[in-house]
Structure 1
């Protein structure tokens, strides 16, 4: 929603701590008539990531609407174990809702179990944990739909045949691996894609410089490469920047998941014809309302549970404790100027 995404540039990121409530005081004790604050802490895969900034803007908007206390903590680099210490700190502070995009579905498990034992509700968003470690997962879209739209786009742009590669984020990222699994299955099972060969999968670790280097390496190692799928906003932007300055521009197709504001120049200069994404701010926004619903008992994470998510209306918990936010959008020269995030 435009009113959610507009907050993307105003999010304050806190890299080493969080502005949590003071769980040791008596503000929420019985008899004083006060209500203990609803503390909602967001723990993304990494800070200072443009995509993450947009997601967090929605989280702040949702938390503000609820009247909760919003905070952000997280690592500067996306690695499997980098989030554990932040979870432990939030547990010690008595944070009521921890909203996490997991770098690894299992590495954060023991810390999240301790947080739940201490009374915290766990909302996974963007990149899921092992379901045993959270109450609900707020997903962008149906994972298979994300994969299919990227396969469709690359097939359209390379004429249905040729070598392609995938430039992903981290090797353990739950969302990336789920999309890649469906991409591989679709390429293997759909006769329309029988002449497309996936020759490599590489990982840029959601780091701009490494993603840029991985793009260079792919094109050096596979001189007949006709296209690259990069299901990560950092990876697709870095790859587009590399292609735009080389003879590969207009010859090697690039699709994936990108932010319109980052990809606009590459669409307009012909480096990229079309890519996809959803409104990332809606992920954070819905996650905040899910956290509130878990704390007040409106939902438990059971299939069929419903809760209201502000201006986005009613959301339902599906199989596996998953809440779907909305469908992906195709961005190209015809519509990219209609979006600002």
Structure 2
């Protein structure tokens, strides 16, 4: 190697190091934002991770990633949050399995200066911002109106939830129960708040047992995103799709085969990808000291004019208008 070549090589290396230095500083300065979901592997939260990854790709000032327990278990989720608090991450964006179990860990997080964003947890005290896709009681009422219409306004019906500790699931069930009780005296609620623990096989087994216990049951309102799948499977196996009504939250691609057969009559949902993106955007805004104002456009469908109200603690609740209705006629319009 000639001296000139050696000089050029050394010069190239020095230039490369000079270019890399600002990038290294930038990477070090990026804020670490971790989204913690109820369960890893469920399609709902796989879709949410797409939103987290999209925000990460679009924002150099944030390192965004998603984690969650292997099972829908509040204790496992709490352990993950406690570990992240111990690591000293900059922000947490959490979809709690049971909000009450996380208050202590999130109080410690806030005490350490960690920004806390929650989703589906409007009663949380130790959060800076709670994001809701819509008014939860109104959504439960909306689901029940669809169920009532399908049932002709009368007959035995029941509600499913992921767990009785899942706040939004219980709010949706309560909204549905209130609608039926106040407006449709022919609707007879039986065995309310059946827990599926976000497991379609559990929902299937519970639905089978209910069909045996109440052979004349006509309606099922699902709360977890997978409830309608298990219920629909049980209904189809019993060849009762023409005499029962199944509505609830769900994803189109998961529910499509049962929507086509009539074992599921309709679903409603908000796009978890958008919720994941907005949670991380709110985390970045909070860390930067930016205010979220009533009527603000957060740049994502369903969140173009959010409402802002005081939270249970010192934080705020940000609500969108993001629910979408799907049935056999349009489920194939959605890629998730």
Could you say whether these structures have the same fold, taking a TM-score greater than 0.5 normalized by the shorter chain as the test? yes
Structure 2 counterpart of 1:322, from 304, 313, 317:
317
Are 2:190 and 1:196 aligned?
no
Are 2:252 and 1:260 aligned?
yes
RMSD of the TM alignment (CA)? 2.3
- Residues in 2 aligned to 1:91 and 1:305: alpha-carbon distance in whole angstroms: 32
1:249–1:315 CA distance, 2 compared to 1 (3 A): closer
Q: Contact between 2:268 and 2:323, CA under 8 Å: does it hold in 1?
A: yes
- Specify the alignment match of 1:4 in structure 2: none
Report the Cα offset of residue 33 of structure 1.
Answer: 8.3
- Residues in 2 aligned to 1:105 and 1:175: alpha-carbon distance in whole angstroms: 10
- Residues in 2 aligned to 1:146 and 1:130: alpha-carbon distance in whole angstroms: 17
Are 2:47 and 1:60 aligned?
no
Report the structure number with the largest CA radius of gyration: 2
1:247–1:134 CA distance, 2 compared to 1 (3 A): same
Unaligned runs of 5+ in 2: 1-21
- Specify the alignment match of 1:269 in structure 2: 261
1:138–1:33 CA distance, 2 compared to 1 (3 A): closer
**Higher helix fraction (1 or 2):** 2
Are 2:81 and 1:87 aligned?
yes
1:208-237 residue CA offsets vs partner (Å, 9 max, x unmatched): 221111111111111110111112211111
1:225 alignment partner, SS class: coil
Report the Cα offset of residue 82 of structure 1.
Answer: 2.0
Residue pairs, 1:1-341, within 5 angstroms: 36-67=29-60, 68-125=62-119, 127-128=120-121, 130-190=123-183, 193-201=184-192, 202-299=194-291, 304=294, 306=296, 308-309=298-299, 315-320=306-311, 321-341=316-336
1:161–1:33 CA distance, 2 compared to 1 (3 A): closer
Give TM-score, length-normalised by structure 2: 0.85
Give TM-score, length-normalised by structure 1: 0.84
1:197–1:128 CA distance, 2 compared to 1 (3 A): same
Q: Contact between 1:150 and 1:276, CA under 8 Å: does it hold in 2?
A: yes
- Residues in 2 aligned to 1:222 and 1:34: alpha-carbon distance in whole angstroms: 59
- Residues in 2 aligned to 1:168 and 1:313: alpha-carbon distance in whole angstroms: 29
1:9-50 residue CA offsets vs partner (Å, 9 max, x unmatched): xxxxxxxxxxxxxxxxxx99xxx7886111110111111111
- Residues in 2 aligned to 1:310 and 1:327: alpha-carbon distance in whole angstroms: 10
Report the Cα offset of residue 56 of structure 1.
Answer: 2.0
Matched pairs, number: 308
1:127-165 residue CA offsets vs partner (Å, 9 max, x unmatched): 216431111111121112211221111111111100001
Unaligned runs of 5+ in 1: 1-26
Report the Cα offset of residue 245 of structure 1.
Answer: 2.1
Report the Cα offset of residue 305 of structure 1.
Answer: 9.0
Report the Cα offset of residue 328 of structure 1.
Answer: 1.7
Q: Contact between 1:104 and 1:129, CA under 8 Å: does it hold in 2?
A: no
- Residues in 1 aligned to 2:26 and 2:97: alpha-carbon distance in whole angstroms: 41
